[in-house]
Structures are given as C-alpha cells and as structure tokens.
Amino acid sequence: MKVLLTNDDGPDSPLLAFTIETVAALPGIALLKIAIPDSEQSWKSHAMSGHGSINPRVTEIAGAQVTLVDGTPADCVDWAMHNLFAGGEWPDLVISGVNCGKNTGLGFILSSATIGACLHANVAEPPRPGLAFSQDFHDLAYGAALKAGEVSGRELAGLRVRIKSNIERVWAHLRGKEQFLHHPLTWNVNFPETTGPGAPITETSIGDSRLKQCFQERGGRFQHSLAHYIEDPSPGSDGTVLARGQISISRLDIRRLCAATDPAEHQP
C-alpha cells in the first residue's frame, strides 16, 4: 500500500515526528511519502492557493524525507499526488494528522484543514480515500500549551503512547472493512483526551454542531477566537461518543451529494 501523509499543524506540531514513525510501521504500508504545510494552516478547510504559486522544499523529520509546501494541506495533497507519486503511481490512501484538537460535528468538520486535505483526495483525479486523525483536549489551554512546546516531556511521552496505540487499533479496525480502500470517502477519527486500555471504537454519525462567533474584538481588531462550540447532544453523534471516552469514527461520503455516486462512472 502506498500512503501520503500530511497535516495542518505544520512541521512544528509536537505530534508530527511520532506520527511519522507510527504510520510508517503500520502493517500493509509499503511506501510512505510526506508533504505538509511549512506553517500552521488550521481552520483553512479545503482552501487552495488559487491564482498563486507554491514552492516545495525538502527537509528531514524523524529520519524521513518530508516536503514542506508554502500552502494549505489541500495544496500539499494535490502537489504530492502529481509529483511525489509521479508516473501513475498514485497513493492508495491519504492520511492527515494527528491534529492537535478534535474535529467533531459539522462546524469543526467543515472548518478543518486536516479533513480538508482528505476531502481533496476524495475529489482528485483519480479519487482516493482519506483518513483523518484528531486528538481531543477538553482543556483548550492545554492544547495551546502543547502546540507552544510548554508541556513536560513526561506528559508528551504519555500522550504519544496513547495516540500510537489508538492509531494501531483504528488501523486494524478499518483494514477489516471491505470499503476502506475501495471507496473515495474520508474516515474521520477522533481520539478522546483520556483513553484506558481497550477503550471502545465506535462508528458514529456526524453531529449537527454549531460555531458561535469565531471573531472577538481585541484592541480595536477582530481576532479569530471561537467563543463557544455547541455540540450535538444526540447519543450516537461523534461529539457525544468522544465525550464518553470512546474513539469516534465517522464516514464523510461527499458523493452522497451527487446524483451519481459511483466514481467509476466518471473514469475517462
């Protein structure tokens, strides 16, 4: 299996290096290539650098060759599919994350560039499935401290152990599904803040969640700062399941918006 890995938190994400190591070691992955934005691109959804240009450059992270792109995660996916995977050797799957923060409910899902990268894979030619990983932090201040590198090494090590285990368990769960790699949809996976051994993996619906005021006035300017996120309390929704300490997996099948849902019908 050939896999493209990206993220929206950029090269400074404290979760990136061990995500590379974990994904590279997953069973069935024969080739892993990595293209990520060169700076944080959170909240950019499926945005692309329209009417602009990008300038990829190569670096090394966790012993792996990583291409940094001065653009969005969707830019990274599009460029990588046609350059890193040249000559018709398309990736079988695009993995995005692990994101620092949850992506549950319509509000976050439609705003997330972690998910936006996977959605671009879904609508590319040829279309490919996506797998988005996000890590919840109930304490938003803790999530901000993690991104700023202000979390102790011991706490970070514990978090990495939990996420590694969760990725491996979810991977085993999804590989057992016939449609996992055969349909160009996105599997949106959210890990709870604390997960005990054997925490349930639950397939969920997408919550009808809302964003309440994304910009706050500060010093005469309006800064992006979400005032409140209103989760859907429905028992089977992704946010509710995540809050119960379970791993949430929801399917994002954008072709359900189309009259023709079989991508093979559009093959040239």
Give the pLDDT confidence score for residue 268 in this predicted structure. Answer: 44
Residue 148 lies in a domain: yes
Cα–Cα distance for residue pair 209/45, rounded to 1 Å: 16
Residue 222 lies in a domain: no
The model's pTM is 0.93
Phi, psi of 238 (to 5 degrees): -60, -45
Residue 214 lies in a domain: no
Cα–Cα distance for residue pair 143/96, rounded to 1 Å: 18
Tell me: pLDDT of 28 over 90: yes
The CATH number linked to 73 is 3.40.1210.10
Residue 94 lies in a domain: yes
Residue 215 lies in a domain: no
Residue range 147-164: mean pLDDT, rounded: 86
Q: How many domains does the chain have?
A: 1
Per DSSP, 87 falls in state T
Token code pair at residue 163: 């996420």
The tens digit of pLDDT for each residue in 93-143 reads: 999 999 999 999 999 999 999 999 999 999 999 999 999 999 998 776 777
Tell me: pLDDT of 68 over 90: yes
Cα–Cα distance for residue pair 176/22, rounded to 1 Å: 19
Residue 224 lies in a domain: no
Sign of CA dihedral 144, 149, 150, 151: positive
Instruction: Give the residue numbers spanning the domain of 74.
Output: 2-205+233-266
